[in-house]
Structure 1
Amino acid sequence: MPFADINKFTNLRETKSWILGICLRMMDHIALDRQSNYRNLVEKAIQFTKKHYAESDISIQKLCEHLHISAGYFSSIFKKETKMTFVTYLLQVRMEAAKELLRTTDLRALDIAEQVGYADANYFSHCFRKFVGQSPKEYRNYSGASG
C-alpha cells in the first residue's frame, strides 16, 4: 500500500517530494515498457521481412497488416529502433541475399532478381549498382564467384 506512507509526512514539501518520486518511477517504468514493446514490434517486422523479402509485392502496408498497426506508427518506431527506414532495410536484406546468390551460384541476374523480390531485372540491376557500387556482373567477377 504505497499510499499508507502519506500519513508519515508532516509538511507539504515532504509530501510533494514523495509524490514526485512515485511519478518519476512510474514514468521510468512506462518508458521501459514502451521501449520493450517497440523492440518486440521491430523484431517481428524483421522476422517477417526476412521470411518474405523475395515476394515482389511485400510492402510496409502488408507488414503493418500482419502486425495489426498503422504504417505511420510503425515507420516512426522502426526508424527510431533501427536508424533506417523500412524501405532501406528491405533493400539491404534483398541486396545481401543477391550478393550471396551471385557469390555462390551460376544463376543469371534475371533469376536472382526474381529470387530476391524484383519483377524487373533492370530495376534490380539499378538498385544493386546503387547499393553495392557495382553491377551484379561486376560484383560476381570481382568477388571471385562462378559465373
Structure 2
Amino acid sequence: MDGRTDRTNAVDTELLIVNAVRRNDEKELKEAFIYFIYGLPQEEEQQCQYMHKVMLKTELMIEDSYGMTEELKKQFKNYYSNLQKLNAARAVDVCYKILCSAIEKRKDNAYSNETKYFKEYMSEAVAYIEEHLDEEDLSIVSVASHVYLNPVYFGRAFKNTFQMTFKKYLMKCRMERAKRLLEEGKTSIGNICEMVGISNPSYFSHLFKQYTGKLPSEYKKEYEA
C-alpha cells in the first residue's frame, strides 16, 4: 500500500512540474519542485529515475507545444548523457535549471509569435480607426469588435505592436489629422473639432496644446499666407 501511495504522489508531482512549465510559471515550478523533492523515495537510484521521467515528460510537452530551441535541446541531451554521473541532489539542481531556462525560452517564443500573429489584425484595426476618426464614441471596444477580438486581449496585442496604448494612439491620430487640417487652412477650427471626433472646442484646444505646445489658432496662423 505504501509503495502504491508513493507512486501515486510521484505521478501527481510530475504533473505539477510539467504543468508549471506549460503555463510558463517560475513560481509554480519552484513550488512543484519542493513538493516533488519531499515526496521522493529514500533510495537514490529511484530518485534519479523519477527525475528522469519528469524531464522526459516535460521535454515531450515542449516539443508538442512551443519553445524547443536548439540550445534547449542540447541542454536536455547533455543531461541525459551525464545522468549516470549525477547524484540525486545534483540531478534535481540541473533539472530545475534546465526547466527554468525552458520557461524563459517559451516566454520569448510566445511573445514573438503573438506579436507576429496580431500584426495581421492591427493593419485592419488601423484602417478602421482612420475611417472612423470623426466618431466621438470610437473606442477600444468598437475597434476590437470590428476585428473580432476580446477588448482586453486586443489592447495588450495593440500595445505590443505599437509600443503605446490604444488610447494614446487614438489621440495621436486625432491630433495629427487636426494638424494637417489646420495647415491646409480650408476649414474652421470648429469643423476640425468635428472631423477629429472631439466636439467640445475648449477640450479640443486643451488637448491640442498638450500635444503641440500651441493653441489651434496659434498653429493655424503659422500656415496662413
Q: Is the pair's TM-score, using the shorter chain for normalization, greater than 0.5?
A: yes
Please give the per-residue CA displacement for 1:34-93, whole angstroms capped at 9, x wherever unaligned. 332121122221111111111111111111111121211111111111111111111111
Q: Is residue 119 from structure 1 mapped to residue 199 from structure 2 by the alignment?
A: yes
The one-letter code matched in structure 2 to 1:86 is: F
Higher relative contact order, structure no. (Cα contacts within 8 Å, ≥ 6 residues apart): 1
Equivalent of 1:74 in 145, 151, 154 = 154
Judged with a 3 Å threshold, the aligned counterparts in structure 2 of structure 1 residues 68 and 122 are, in CA distance, closer, same or farther, namely: same
Deviation at 1:105, TM superposition (A): 2.2
State yes or no: 1:137 paired with 2:137: no
Post-superposition shift, 1:131? 0.7
In structure 2, C-alpha distance between the alignment counterparts of 1:41 and 1:101, rounded to whole Å: 28
Bigger mean CA offset, 34-43 vs 93-102: 34-43
Q: Is the 8 A contact 2:115 2:157 kept in 1?
A: no
SS at match of 2:192: helix
- Alignment counterpart, residue 99 of structure 1, candidates 172, 179, 187: 179
- Percentage of identical aligned residues: 30
Output the aligned Cα RMSD: 2.6
Asked whether the 8 Å contact 1:38–1:77 carries over to 2, the reply is yes
Deviation at 1:29, TM superposition (A): 7.6
Q: Which residue of the other structure, out of 116, 123, 130, is the alignment partner of 1:43?
A: 123
Instruction: Kindly provide the amino acid, as one letter, of the partner of residue 216 in structure 2.
Output: P
1:33 is displaced (CA, Å) by 4.2
CA distance in 2, matches of 1:106, 1:96: 16
In terms of Rg, which structure is larger? 2
Q: Any unmatched runs of 5+ in structure 2?
A: 1-51, 70-105
Q: Return the alpha-carbon distance in structure 2 between the equivalents of residues 24 and 91 of structure 1.
A: 41
Question: TM-score, normalization: structure 2?
Answer: 0.51
Change in 2 beyond 3 A, CA 1:33/1:119: same
Q: Tell me the secondary structure at the aligned position of residue 45 of structure 1.
A: helix
Task: Give the length in aligned residue pairs.
Answer: 130
Which residue of 2 is the match for residue 59 of structure 1? 139
In the alignment, the residues of structure 1 paired with residue 211 and residue 155 of structure 2 have an alpha-carbon distance, to the nearest angstrom, of 21
Contact residue 102 and residue 145 of structure 1 kept, 8 A = no
**TM-score after normalising by structure 1:** 0.75
